[in-house]
Homo-oligomer: A and B are copies of this chain.
């Protein structure tokens, strides 16, 4: 049986341990919610002060050129590209995940409409993150397409037929933490004549992603989870070079124009991924996101995403082992796959009752996870800053909450706006 001392020994032997020093972690907290909002990098406040006081306050409009503001979406995009198996110049940071999904799904549908007009289905999972489904539903209404949702991932293969235009999936399920095999599903989709749209919200910065290797078609992702970009950080969009110039994306804003500063009345899309830009880049948010992305790139000398993945799996494996051993008999059911090839960087548990209140009681004890309706308790394990001893201590708090029945107190059962 693993002991707390053993966990401390694992931390002492952890080559990635120094990466934790990059973060301003709140005292007295074990933060297992980096899958919702990543923590603050220590360098971010000073960098933001520099952008605000010097680049904006002192240099004003000259910073568009002098400080490289105008190419910030590409500069930060090239950094993220290194984390997701994309080439330089293939990925930009812009807008929200939802808006980017609107662009790429529009492009995928337009390509299929031109080449295979009888393909009118967007296939996804009913459990996909709602914004993905809402955007697909909106585009389906608009394009006369049909959104087909499966309840079980095993049913996806059967939907890859001559009616399928696009397979749209989130690589790691936000609720269960289940990981899709991007390469295999993309191959199956292509074999069936469909295009793929991947949402990397819970995979970019969490595990190795290889968009080029998987031969994916389109991808979007989130800046504020594992990339530590701050609340509501801008998102990113990638399009395979074979598709990128085949379509005007519908949000044809001036920054995606071939020559924005010519101020010409007719739209002419920029070459490459720059046409997926829309409005004036959000400089403060981009600067904060760059700091966050740099905290992940800092793992490169230590083995990069592969090393982070190994630690992530060691953390989630330990958490499952300890919960099952130390919280046995309390009705917790593992939602996340036990098979590590199918697991993202989070572990979720289901309980017949009290899931919300148990998470609240844990937060009151300084162990921050979150709850997702109807019954899922989620715990994210960000390998950049989570220690093995944190896992031990979190499980000990969970054990005490369950054994004491403390979670039944009224104050832990009051729902707030954001859960």
Contact = CB atoms under 8 A, between A and B. Distances in A.
Interface of A: 24, 26, 29, 31, 33, 36-37, 39-40, 44-45, 48-49, 52-53, 55-65, 69-70, 95-99, 102, 126-131, 133-135, 137-139, 141-142, 149, 175, 224, 230-235, 248, 250-255, 257, 260-267, 278-286, 288, 363, 368, 370, 372-373, 416-419
A34 B248 CA distance: 32
A85 to B, nearest CB: 24
Given A26-B60, A29-B60, A233-B282, 4 more contacts: A64-B231, A98-B279, A141-B248, A261-B418
Given A24-B53, A95-B96, A232-B281, A131 B254 contact: yes
A57 B285 contact: no
A33 B61 contact: yes
Query: How many copies of this chain?
Result: 2
Given A135-B253, A253-B99, A231 B284 contact: yes
Nearest to A36: B61
5 contacts: A37-B60, A37-B61, A64-B418, A98-B254, A134-B257
A234 B282 CA distance: 7
Pick the 9 closest A-B CB pairs, nearest first: A96-B279, A98-B253, A40-B57, A131-B254, A231-B283, A64-B418, A138-B252, A232-B282, A134-B267
A267 to B, nearest CB: 4
A251 B99 contact: yes
A395 to B, nearest CB: 20
A97 B253 CA distance: 9
Contacts of A285: 232, 282, 284-285
Contacts of A26: 57-60
Contacts of A59: 26
Contacts of A231: 55-56, 63-64, 69, 280-284
Given A251-B98, A254-B131, A261-B418, A52 B58 contact: no
Nearest to A372: B263
A280 B230 CA distance: 11
Contacts of A265: 126-128, 130, 133, 149
A252 B139 CA distance: 9
Contact of A99 (B97, B99, B175, B373): B99
A250 B133 contact: no
Contact of A278 (B98, B248, B255, B260): B98
Nearest to A174: B263
Nearest to A268: B134
Nearest to A282: B232
Contacts of A260: 130
B370 A417 contact: no
Nearest to A149: B265
Contacts of A286: 232
A279 B99 contact: yes
A279 B129 CA distance: 12
Contact of A267 (B137, B234, B288): B137
B65 A416 contact: yes
